[in-house]
Amino acid sequence: MTDKIKRTPLQSEIIRYIQEYMEENGLKAGDRLPSQEQLIRMMGVSRTALREAVKTLEARGVLTVKNGKGIYVGQGEDSVFLSLLDFAREKEQLLEALEVRKILEREILRMVIYRATPEELADLGEITKTLMDRFRRGEKQTEVDKQFHYTIYRLSHNQVMYQLILSISSIMDKFWEFPLNMEDPFRESLPLHENLYYAICEKKVRTAQAINEKLLDAVYRDIRNQQQ
């Protein structure tokens, strides 16, 4: 196994690499893996990326880290690897989708501010009110949240941009389906929806873009910090 990992994000790739290394070398519980320095050179990844992946594997019993001695195979089963890989893939997919959303929504907001009619903004206002009322009452608001964002996409009045967003809807929709088994996701970002609506109505392009980026950054942190 000589090929270095080049693609990012890396956690699922590092986990898969370690899994394949253990299988190819017939390592069993209690056997020692290469040192951290050796693994970094073998995979071509940063110390931080390796440490994060090892920490995840250690928490699930796949690896055991002994200070001053090295990294050892733990008691975890193969099914744990599969579970971790699925979790890591979904997490990375969501993070990548957020990066795409940040790029596209910046331009979409500019279009909405210049093209949406007063009647359309009034409809968006009703959705915003329903969303915030449910949020403040502590009720489930995921469907209304989804409706808020897709309404904004539609109000861009640019069919190419709208279809571009719809082309990744299978990934986008995961944000409103309690991804990564999150019990109550994105609490920090929800109050920002009201601020975003007001900025759109006031035709403040830069303010709206800044609020939306803050909203997406909050979602990004929630996803990024989620542990299995």
Closest CA to 16 of 5, 26, 27: 5
Question: Boundaries of CATH 1.10.10.10 in the chain?
Answer: 11-76
> What pLDDT score was predicted for residue 80?
72
> What's at 122, amino acid-wise?
A
SS3 199: helix
3-state secondary structure of 181: helix
Distance CA 175, CA 85 (A): 19
Place of tokens 């596209």: 104
Non-local (6+) Cβ contacts of 37 within 8 A are: none
Question: Are the C-beta atoms of residues 173 and 97 closer than 8 Å to each other?
Answer: no
**CATH 1.20.120.530 domain extents, the chain:** 90-224
* Class of CATH domain 11-76: mainly alpha
Residue 161: what pLDDT?
Answer: 95
What is the model's pLDDT at position 150?
Answer: 96
Q: What is the pLDDT of residue 61?
A: 85
Average pLDDT for runs of 10 along the chain of length 228: 50 85 88 93 91 85 88 79 77 90 96 98 98 94 95 97 91 87 85 98 98 96 82
Which homologous superfamily is 90-224 in? GntR ligand-binding domain-like (1.20.120.530)
Instruction: Say how many residues make up the chain.
Output: 228
- Cβ neighbours, 10 Å, residue 182: 12
pTM for the model stands at 0.70
